[in-house]
Structure 1
Amino acid sequence: MDIIDILKPKFVLMENVCDLFKFVDAFLGYHAVERLVYMNYQTRMGIMAARSYGVPQCRLRVFLWVANMMMVSIL
């Protein structure tokens, strides 16, 4: 989050394991979204199965799509 705050990119895509939601009642996931919204980013979070996209694994992954609201409104 500190790197995003410093660089202020237009878009960010984060990926992690589903345990992000299991640890302390999803505190890490909620904290990430809360901090990004505070930095004026729009966020979407979802879970995707790697197998559905050609990856030879059957594990679930968490994706966080992020867009800088100031930059997107200019486009």
Structure 2
Amino acid sequence: MKKQAHRSKRRKNLSILLTSIMMISLILPAVPTHAAIENGDAVKVSILATTDVHANMMNYDYYSDKETNEFGLAKKQPS
């Protein structure tokens, strides 16, 4: 019985701690960070996201049996 009471108290304390941390993170302001650009040139960033990783990863058209620059992940490669 003592072990169960200890476990219950520990779980309650953990719950209070995690709730407090979440509340504090909502109250504190988020501080945006900015990277310093040394030479003044803009930087282009491409963010790629997909859920369909099995299609058009390479720039190869299997229907015409040759490489292409119309699609594929290789098209995003910097030159």
TM-score normalised to the size of structure 1? 0.23
Greater radius of gyration (CA): 2
Higher helix share: 1
